[in-house]
Amino acid sequence: MHRCVVVMTGKVDYVSNCRATVAVHNGHALQAEITGSGCMVGTAVATFIAVARDNPMLGALAGIVAINIAAEHAAKRPDVHGPGSFRQAFLDEMHMLTREHILEEANIRLC
């Protein structure tokens, strides 16, 4: 084992450490309409892994779920009408995201 975690993004995101693979069903199609969505996910994954040091699989999963739940919150806002307003709302919703949101709204399944 090389202690590697593989992340694959798209409409459904996948995280694998070779022993287990988890599918993340959170997120919104507007994420694919703005520049930097993949970079945001990559940054969140690196940040969460830095905290969950001994469990990179959990860190990667939490980073993906957090960004995608913030996107869902942003897409639901009445002031969001397309990619431009979505991008702004997305940043605000990342700022307001809580631990409870992640625990209650994560939509993940073991493959």
Ligand X SMILES: Cc1ncsc1CCOP(=O)(O)O
Ligand Y SMILES: Nc1ncnc2c1ncn2[C@@H]1O[C@H](COP(=O)(O)OP(=O)(O)O)[C@@H](O)[C@H]1O
Summarize as ranges the residues that interact with ligand Y (CB under 6 A): 9-11, 13, 27-29, 31-32, 37-38, 41, 64, 67-68
Query: β-pairing, 21-24 with 13-16?
Result: antiparallel
Minimal CB distance to ligand Y: which residue?
38
Residue ranges in contact with ligand X by CB under 6 A: 35-39
Rounded to an integer, what distance in angstroms lies between the CA atom of residue 7 and that of residue 73? Answer: 23
Residue 73 binds which one of ligand X, ligand Y, none, with CB within 5 to 8 A depending on kind? none
Rounded to an integer, what distance in angstroms lies between the CA atom of residue 71 and that of residue 39? Answer: 14
Q: Which amino acid is at 18?
A: C
Smallest separation (angstroms) from ligand X to the CB of 103: 27
Rounded to an integer, what distance in angstroms lies between the CA atom of residue 72 and that of residue 74? Answer: 5
Residue 17 binds which one of ligand X, ligand Y, none, with CB within 5 to 8 A depending on kind? none
Choose between 17 and 70: whose C-beta lies nearer to ligand X: 70
76 token code pair:
């639901």
